Amino acid sequence: MSLKGFHIIFVFLAVLCMVGFWAWTQWNLDDAQSLGVVELGKGSFALGLGLFVYWIWFVVKKSKTIIV
């Protein structure tokens, strides 16, 4: 696997983890509030959204100019 391919997969998995953490804080709100991580969940969603935009940009624009 090339470094480009690894980067694409790694960033996508990071997006899934961040959005998954946000989803957990929303579906298990009582547990998340007792642990004090509701705000972290909101921040995780924002970062996940930003990473998703970066991932799209990388796949569409940037990866075409990188040598395999």
Residue 1 has what pLDDT? 79
Q: Evaluate whether 51 touches 18 at the Cβ level (below 8 Å).
A: yes
Range of the domain at 54: 3-64
Place of tokens 């009582």: 30
Token pair belonging to 42 = 């909101």
Number of domains in the chain: 1
pTM of the model: 0.83
Distance CA 37, CA 4 (A): 33
What's the rounded Cα separation, in Å, for the pair 66 and 13?
21
A 10 A CB-CB count for 48 gives 19
- pLDDT, tens digit (0-9, with 9 covering 90-100), for 8-25: 999 999 999 999 999 999
